[in-house]
């Protein structure tokens, strides 16, 4: 029996399936990943662009980088991997991605544990708004309520994850029979720890879809592009 058939059997028998996705699932949509060849962290330093300290030091620089990424994402379309997951509303979807492509593909209730690129949040009064304007007319943008700086509604290094979203993701992981780990290097915690929690809590089968094995501790590894593997894995389920 092939690994694909084995995992299709696990999925058929499962009551609760959870998928955690990372930047690799959007690679085939033309959005750069963070690590590996062509990865954003090869070209840019996270500490200059994706920390509260970097924003306090130079909000314009940070915003220029996010405005550029918003432009890349605005031009991108969901791919076959996003579509395969959207066709399976029985799967609880947790993503580290801030690109919103799962929702654009039709997935509902996506748990975006690192926030999203389209939310702007005031550092002063906390007001939030969704704004898909690309490019933004003024960098850094300002709050229309109190005039303070707006920041991207994403999670930066050194910050906590959004509490409610994270607690829903944790509870889903701990109740899973099958936990899919898709297109992530499994290096950034706490998201990277969800697979191990699923294993520890309910002995979930952990299945990884990636070009290369990460440290996710998978019971089954499906090597390949998410846009090819997921349609074959999830169709007809
Ligand atoms: P990474 O860039 O660390 O890892 C991307 C993973 O996707 C790698 O393991 C690749 O092998 C794999 N990959 C690439 N193309 C693929 C494809 N077509 N199909 C399947 N897999 C593919 O991205 P993440 O793990 O998502 O956080 O990074 C985690 C977090 O680190 C991000 O959310 C971001 C980043 O810094 C913050 O900004 C807080």
Domain of residue 168, CATH code: 3.40.50.1220
Mean pLDDT of 48-57: 95
Handedness of CA 161, 166, 169, 170 (dihedral sign): positive
Asked whether residue 146 is marked as a ligand-binding residue, the answer is: yes
Final residue in a domain of this structure, among 154, 180, 205: 154
Contact 102, 78 (CB under 8 A): yes
185 and 102 within one domain: yes
124 and 225 within one domain: no
Beta partners for residue 154, in sequence order:
115
198 and 125 within one domain: no
CATH of the domain at 143: 3.30.1600.10
3-state SS, one letter per residue, for the chain: CCHHHHHHHHHHHCCCEEEEECCHHHHCCCCCCCCCCCCHHHHCCHHHHCCHHHHHHCHHHHHHHHHHHHHHHHCCCCCHHHHHHHCCCCEEEEECCCCCHHHHHCCCCCEECCEEEEEEEECCCCCEEECCCCCCCCCCCECCCCCCEEEEEECCCCCCCCHHHHHHHHHHHHCCCEEEEECCCCCCCCHHHHHHHHHHHHCCEEEEEECCCCCCCCCEEEECCHHHHHHHHHCCC
Return the best residue to mutate from 30, 95, 211, 214 for the ligand 1 pocket (most ligand atoms within 8 A of CB). 211
188 and 134 within one domain: no
pLDDT recorded at residue 36: 84
Q: From atom 35 of ligand 1, which residue's Cα is the shortest distance away?
A: 34
Domain that holds residue 65: 34-73+116-154
136 and 66 within one domain: yes
Mean pLDDT of 2-10: 97
107 and 80 within one domain: yes
Residue 1 has pLDDT above 90, yes or no: no
Cis omega (within 30 of 0) for bond into 131? no
Asked whether residue 147 is marked as a ligand-binding residue, the answer is: no
66 and 171 within one domain: no
Contact 129, 120 (CB under 8 A): yes
Residue 112 has pLDDT above 80, yes or no: yes
Q: From atom 23 of ligand 1, which residue's Cα is the shortest distance away?
A: 23
43 and 18 within one domain: no
pLDDT recorded at residue 145: 95
State the CB neighbour count (10 A cutoff) for residue 10. Answer: 16
pLDDT in tens, 75-96: 999 999 999 999 999 999 999 9
223 and 168 within one domain: yes
Asked whether residue 227 is marked as a ligand-binding residue, the answer is: no
Structurally, the chain folds into a number of domains equal to 2
Of 32-41, 97-106, 166-175, 223-232, minimum mean pLDDT range: 32-41
81 and 140 within one domain: no
């Amino acid at each position: 029996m092939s690994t694909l058939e084995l995992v299709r059997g696990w999925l058929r028998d499962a009551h609760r399936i959870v998928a955690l996705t990372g930047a690799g699932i959007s690679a085939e949509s033309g959005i750069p990943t963070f690590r590996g060849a062509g990865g954003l962290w090869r070209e840019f330093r996270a500490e200059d662009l994706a920390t509260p300290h970097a924003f306090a030091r130079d909000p314009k620089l940070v915003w220029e980088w996010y405005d550029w990424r918003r432009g890349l994402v605005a031009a991108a379309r969901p791919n076959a991997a996003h579509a395969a997951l959207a066709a399976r509303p029985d799967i609880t979807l947790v993503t580290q991605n801030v690109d919103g492509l799962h929702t654009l593909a039709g997935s509902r209730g996506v748990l975006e544990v690192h926030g999203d690129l389209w939310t702007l949040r005031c550092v002063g009064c906390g007001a939030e708004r969704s704004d898909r304007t690309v490019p933004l007319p003024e960098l850094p943008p300002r709050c229309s309520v109190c005039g303070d700086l707006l920041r991207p509604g994403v999670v930066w290094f050194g910050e906590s994850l959004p509490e409610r979203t994270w607690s829903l993701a944790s509870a889903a992981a701990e109740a899973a029979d099958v936990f899919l780990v898709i297109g992530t290097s499994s290096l950034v915690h706490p998201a990277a720890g969800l697979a191990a929690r699923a294993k520890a809590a309910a002995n979930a089968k952990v299945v990884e879809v990636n070009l290369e094995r990460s440290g996710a501790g998978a019971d089954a590894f499906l090597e390949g592009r998410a846009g090819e593997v997921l349609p074959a894995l999830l169709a007809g389920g």
